[in-house]
Structure formats: C-alpha cells, structure tokens
Structure 1
Amino acid sequence: MDKKYKIVLASGSPRRQQFFKDFDLEFEVRLKEVDEIYPNHLKAEEITNFLAELKAKAFDGELAQNEVLITSDTLVWLNGKALGKPKDYDDAFAILKSLSNDTHEVITSVCFTTTEKSETIFDVTKVTFSELSDDAIRYYLDNYKPFDKAGAYGIQEWIGLIGITKIEGSYTNVVGLPTEKVYNYLTNLLSN
C-alpha cells in the first residue's frame, strides 16, 4: 500500500489499536477528551455518526496535509434505545439484564478526516444473547469489569463465550471496529 497518508488513530481503545497493528499499517495514536453528548432526536447510526464526527472536530486545524485522522464510536441499540458505556456496576448489571434473552444491534461509525474532506462509514451487527442468570452477570462484572465497553460487555470475553447464541454481520464490528470496511476504505484512500 502506498504511504500517501500518515494514519492518525484517535482512540484509546486497546482493541481498536490492536486491529490497526494487525492490519500491518503504521499509525500514530493521538487522543483528545471529548464530551460525548448528542442531540436527543438522533437514533441508531445517526448517534454514532454524530459522535465519530464530533471526535474528529476536536482536531480541527491540527492535521498535517499528509495525515488521515480516524475517529470512531460504538453503541448498542436495543428496542429503540441507545446503550453506551455503563455509569457504574449497577448500571452495567441492568444493561446486561436487558440484553439477556434478546437480540440487539451493535453499531460502529468510523470517520476518516483529511485536510480536504471528511467521510463517515458505519456498520451494524445483530447479536443475540441467551438468558443470562444473575449469577453469570455478577461473575462477569466482578471478574472482567467491562465498564469501558458499550453495552457493558466484550464479545471476545467470557460473557460472549457463554451467552451469545447468534451473530449476524461483522464480528469485529462488535469488538469495536468494522475491520473489513475500514481496511478497504484505507486501501482505496492510500492508493489513490
């Protein structure tokens, strides 16, 4: 792949950073604090698109000519409601209880920004959980502490192994990045 652009990943997520290492692409991590607040009327991917673009705006005027900034946001969408990262243990318990024995959507938006333009893509994956017992939820929260994860779970962790019965769409999207779409976008950008 031609090195037309230098990749700047604006994500503190170890999972997203690992995906970029696994792509065998050189990249630099740059972080900025952003208040992830969005207008109440937004729904589903409108929320993640808005937040990925909001995170990109924090870098306005700071990108070099040859840099592409990558920002992203993931949320869990259940019965018309957005579930982000849990506030605390009790909130995480309530979130997992609501996901139990139901199907939800995991939506990730990724915004690519250069000095010339900004473009956002998103992906949606349907995930179905079996019935999760209170004991299983407590065990997971006590041992894995998924308080930094949308929907209070990591599909790649214990809860995913014992609780997920079906997945429709991209697995990596549920982990936090639709890798196939991101890689294809970057391949096209870096080779044009």
Structure 2
Amino acid sequence: MNFIYLASQSPRRRQLLEQLGVPHELLLPGADEDAEAIEAVLPREAPTAYVERVTALKLDAAVARRAARGLPDAPILCSDTTVALGSTIYGKPDDADHAARMLAELAGHEHRVLTAVALQVGAKRLTALSTSRVTFATMTAAQIAAYVATGEPMGKAGAYGIQGRAAAYVQHLAGSYSGIMGLPMYETAQLLRAAGFSV
C-alpha cells in the first residue's frame, strides 16, 4: 500500500492529510449520489450517534464507488464533522439567514465539535471520534452579519471555519484544532498506523 483514497470534497481535509505526508487520491461522489440525504438528521438522534452514522454511510458509499469505477484497491478514508450545542445538531447552513441564526445561538456559549473518522482497509473498518469544546464570545448582530457576508460560513458545520475569520470570536478551545477543521490529525494518524502506514 502506497496511497489511500480520501472520500471528501473538503479542501481542508486534503490539506491536513498532506500535512501528515500521506499520498492520497480523491474518491469523490458522482452526480448521481445524494450526499444531502446521507446527512439528514434522524428524529431525536444524539450528536455523537449522528456523526458516526453519517461517516459510516459516507464510507459505505465510497467503498461502493471505488468498486463500481473499477479503481485499484487501497484504503479509503472518510470523515464527517458536526457542531452540537447541548443535544442540538448544527450542520451546514442552508443560506445566509440560516448561518446568522446558527451563529446567534452559538455566540456566548460553549459548544462541542464532533469529528468522526473511518478507514476501510480491505474487509476491516477502523474508526475514531474526536470531541472538542469551543467557547464563542458574544457577537452583535452587526458582527454576525459582517462575518456571514464574507461567505465563509457556507458549507461548514456550525456556520463557521475555525481557521478563518471566526477565530476572532473563539475565546477558548479544548481539544483538537485539526479536528475542528475537519480531520483530527492524532486520531487519523493512529488509524493509518494501524493500517500499516508510517506516519
């Protein structure tokens, strides 16, 4: 094994994997795959159960995708991140108004960022979960509007990117910075080592 497949469209996950020095190729969904259906929250689903279930479903889809495309066999890495305030799950915002509402609810509170990682190696599946805690400062409506206007919240769980301008409002962080970005380096390295990669 000299490379892995990364089943993610996130440029941040690709950047983090490059930081680990792991050769990889992207294994992206086709136009016929409904990624949004996979990310739908089930009634009364707990945040941890949600992020682990979605990651498993994404990996199932990637395994089928590799086989259907007749690509060479190699480990497949998949990850998913969600933000939780109590038992409320904050996924990606639908639009700017939705992003502003999310940020207004997160501002002034501590929330959790859960990132599940799964690696398929042949018939074996290795999994890990990273849990971080982030405390946002209070934000005025004008500050929220200005941040949303940058476009940065779109496509990100919880409507913010820790590596971007939202960092100006992060009062405290406990856990994995890379996990909040979308791929926890420590847990990912552990899975890759268990699969026989030198990281």
User: Structure 1 residues 41 and 129 mapped into 2: Cα distance closer, same or farther (>3 Å)?
Assistant: same
Task: Name the aligned partner's letter for residue 76 of structure 1.
Answer: V
Preserved CA contact (<8 Å) 2:7 2:62: no
User: Is residue 2:26 matched to residue 1:23?
Assistant: no
Equivalent pairs counted in the alignment come to 188
SS at match of 2:130: strand
Length-normalised TM-score, structure 1: 0.91
Q: Which residue of 2 aligns with 1:8?
A: 5
Q: Which residue of 2 aligns with 1:116?
A: 123
Partner Cα distance (2:135, 2:82) in 1: 15
Query: 1:145 Cα deviation (Å)?
Result: 3.2
Preserved CA contact (<8 Å) 1:74 1:150: yes
- Residue 112 of structure 2, aligned match among 90, 95, 105: 105
Task: Name the aligned partner's letter for residue 140 of structure 1.
Answer: Y
Identity over aligned pairs, percent: 30
Query: 1:152 Cα deviation (Å)?
Result: 0.2
List alignment gaps of at least 5 residues for structure 1: none
Partner Cα distance (2:142, 2:40) in 1: 33
Query: 1:149 Cα deviation (Å)?
Result: 0.2
Query: 1:130 Cα deviation (Å)?
Result: 0.8
- Residue 178 of structure 2, aligned match among 161, 167, 172: 172
Length-normalised TM-score, structure 2: 0.88
Partner Cα distance (1:122, 1:100) in 2: 25
Query: 1:180 Cα deviation (Å)?
Result: 1.1
Q: Which residue of 2 aligns with 1:79?
A: 86
Preserved CA contact (<8 Å) 1:38 1:50: no
RMSD: 1.7
Query: 1:177 Cα deviation (Å)?
Result: 1.1
